Structure 1
């Protein structure tokens, strides 16, 4: 096995990915306390406990359902040169870069589908009914949604030709970025205006978690923001203080206990008309200013 194959067949050192994840969680949690973007509506301690349980169930689903499928598939793709990125022998750095870009773009499509396909929305709803938005929301995905995403993830790996190293790098970058852009972190506005041209930022993703449907149906990107620019789904002209987090028909905190969150996909969906927001100017305190 040549050095090229060894690199692409390998994975990120586990100590490095763990260090990056723990470091990001710690840094974001401390930064949220020092520079909060939004005023919380719930007890943070109780909410964090609830989100942690959902996150542990989600992590267990990934470990038991996704990794046994996607990991071996990525190794097979690399061993037999399967998929789009294997049609031409590319320099390692270019192949890894293209893999991350393509995985990020196809995750944009998956995210779009979780909002537009009613059956998928039933599960994704558990993420959106959180009445506050911070780094703990980044890990709050219904186990059923992660189970349903396994075929999509397998298709990404097989059709795009994703090697194990590229997959591991993208997974780590995705986790770090969702912790960042879900955070309740108030960045300097000028800095965030520049950042959101490249990556998804807290104010940008906060608009996606608005109860206003037109705003929820925008800003679907995960790592890089270019898919939203490409598809015209970018929305930046909403001031953060005008955003109410959550889903319009699920605004009662007493109805959002752990058990009820996990049962959401199996209950009758509420069909409350979502609030509307009239045309907005471009306030100076928004990312579009």
Structure 2
């Protein structure tokens, strides 16, 4: 199902692109992003899978954690787990922007000069390694059993593939979806080079968390968004070896252009413009 969703989005975004022209050839970017993704997947296979899945089984066996103590009806357990995991992932996403060490790693995701379905897979292996204790804490404290964990993982993966894609949905459809789910236009604002816009739209699945925390932005037209980070605008600086080494190199001010300027934009009153 997940592979099918990925292939469908890659094809669909080619036929109905939301943002263009692209800063780099799509094939080159996609191969680079898949290279980063392969290292991240291997990291999760080695570090997360042997920890989180056994913890989930133990949580269910010992009836430990919030959901196990509440003991909701079986039909309600999975939806509650998705909501709680999604909210705590929102908090983790905020931390990856606010904590300097985490930002060093998360910036690799943001220096992509374009946005497409493969960007959803482009997370530095170091970030994935540091996320394992947080994921384990989510499972234990929330009491997420194996079935709920599996459904949430599928929901999350499908969601991040969808909202990172460069797919132009019909505007009336996207305006109906965005009060509930993160959409490509909404998440495109989060990948803007304007810092105030990057520091918005942190939700990964459900839009409600940005609404509750006052971090929702729907007022930037996609054709006015420059994707990436101001400090890295040259495609030659975001090759695979360079982005893998980036967290370990001397850090630049992420939101300052090479000429020293800081990108800014006056807020608009428009609601999810085209």
Say whether 1:65 aligns with 2:44.
Answer: no
User: Quick check: 141-150 or 45-54, which moved more?
Assistant: 45-54
- Aligned equivalent of 2:91, options 109, 113, 136: 109
Q: State the secondary structure of the residue aligned to 2:48.
A: helix
Would you say how many aligned residue pairs link Structure 1 and Structure 2? Answer: 267
Q: CA RMSD in A?
A: 1.1
In the other structure, the counterpart of 2:9 is: 28
Structure 1's consecutive aligned runs of 4 or more residues displaced over 3 angstroms after TM superposition are none
2:219, 2:267 within 8 Å by CA — same for their partners in 1? no
Unaligned runs of 5+ in 2: none
Q: State the secondary structure of the residue aligned to 1:111.
A: helix
Q: Please give the TM-score of this superposition, normalised by the length of structure 1.
A: 0.90
Q: 1:89 Cα shift?
A: 2.1
CA deviations over 1:194-228 (Å, ceiling 9, x no partner):
10000000000000000000000000001111101
1:70, 1:153 within 8 Å by CA — same for their partners in 2? yes
1:2-41 → structure 2 map (5 Å cutoff): 20-39=1-20, 40-41=22-23
Q: 1:288 Cα shift?
A: 6.0
Q: 1:281 Cα shift?
A: 3.5
CA deviations over 1:77-111 (Å, ceiling 9, x no partner):
00000001111221111111111100000000000
- Aligned equivalent of 2:145, options 133, 158, 163: 163
In the other structure, the counterpart of 1:3 is: none
Q: Give the Cα–Cα distance (whole angstroms) in 2 for the partners of residues 120 and 92 of structure 1.
A: 36
Cα–Cα, structure 1 residues 280 and 88, in superposed 2: closer, same or farther, change >3 Å?
closer
Say whether 1:78 aligns with 2:66.
Answer: no
1:130-279 → structure 2 map (5 Å cutoff): 130-271=112-253, 272=256, 274-279=262-267
1:41-60 → structure 2 map (5 Å cutoff): 41-60=23-42
1:82, 1:161 within 8 Å by CA — same for their partners in 2? yes
